[in-house]
């Protein structure tokens, strides 16, 4: 499919999982009504606790309540759905994973990606987060071929690690997905420039839905979900409210840019 519509859903998720899933479903339906073939939800869209120690209680297996609901939604609306991320409980594992799932228009779970880079940061008087205390790190990069193009999966803090995205591009990624819950201090400084850089470096489309508002942990999330084209132009951007932003993905334009600026083939330091 050469041209199609992508949607980024911006949410302000809280502690009520049922309410979060219902709000997410409503906005996915809005995206579908606006013609979206791929809809991407933000990080931890289904549940966010008030304290770090609650992560285990909020985790669920796959399949579980959230993934079953998202599979049914993708099947009903006949679209590709990236279920942002949930906390995935795995038998025998001491900590849950922060996991993104891709569903096809038949509601089948095609693949999952477990967040590799965990957000441990201490910004005095602004943000204190230690994700590694409550979640386990993933170990594998994930791309998935689809009729829309090959999707490259990542989550939030991954955005700061360009080597991940170069590997995704080397594995064929054309559209980078970055479901996020970027905090306001780091988002104001770095969100747009990082999203644009990852798109430019890899000549990829990038779809980055974000959380917004005040999280249950008490810090502000940045919002400003965006879709970026392979030339680094922000072609759709949300504000500070819950909303859906959409943009047309033009694969022919991407192919032309890659022919005219073949930097992916010029890379010498491949690791």
Indicate which residues carry an active-site annotation: 43, 115, 156
Dist CA 35 CA 6 (whole Å): 8
Dist CA 67 CA 61 (whole Å): 9
For the beta carbon of residue 265, count every other beta carbon within 10 angstroms.
6
Asked whether the beta carbons of 267 and 166 are under 8 A apart, the reply is yes
For the beta carbon of residue 255, count every other beta carbon within 10 angstroms.
14
Name the 3-class secondary structure at 189. helix
Dist CA 116 CA 155 (whole Å): 8
Dist CA 160 CA 79 (whole Å): 29
The candidate with the shortest Cα–Cα distance to 236, out of 213, 211, 198, 205, is 205
**What interhelical angle do 65-77 and 17-33 show, nearest 10?**
20
């Amino acid at each position: 499919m050469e041209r199609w519509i992508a949607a980024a859903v911006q949410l302000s998720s809280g502690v009520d999982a049922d309410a979060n899933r219902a709000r997410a479903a409503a906005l996915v339906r809005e995206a579908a009504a606006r013609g979206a073939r791929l809809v991407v939800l933000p990080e931890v869209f289904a549940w966010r606790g008030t304290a770090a120690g609650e992560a285990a209680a909020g985790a669920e297996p796959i399949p579980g309540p959230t993934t079953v609901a998202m599979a049914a939604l993708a099947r009903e609306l006949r679209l590709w759905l990236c279920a942002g991320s949930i906390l995935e409980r795995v038998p025998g594992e001491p900590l849950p994973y922060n996991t993104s799932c891709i569903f096809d228009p038949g509601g089948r779970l095609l693949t999952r990606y477990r967040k590799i880079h965990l957000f441990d940061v201490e910004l005095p008087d602004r943000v204190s987060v230690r994700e590694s205390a409550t979640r386990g790190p993933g170990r594998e990069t994930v791309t998935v071929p689809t009729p829309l193009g090959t999707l490259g999966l990542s989550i939030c803090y991954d955005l700061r690690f360009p080597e991940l995205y170069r590997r995704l591009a080397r594995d064929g990624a054309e559209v980078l997905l970055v479901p996020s819950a970027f905090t306001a201090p780091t988002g104001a400084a770095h969100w747009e420039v990082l999203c644009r850089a990852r798109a430019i470096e890899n000549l990829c489309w990038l779809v980055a839905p974000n959380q917004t508002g005040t999280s249950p942990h008490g810090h502000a999330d940045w919002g400003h979900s965006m879709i970026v084209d392979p030339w680094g132009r922000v072609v759709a951007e949300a504000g500070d409210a819950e909303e859906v932003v959409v943009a047309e993905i033009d694969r022919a334009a991407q192919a032309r840019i890659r022919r005219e600026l073949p930097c992916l083939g010029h890379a010498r330091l491949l690791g």
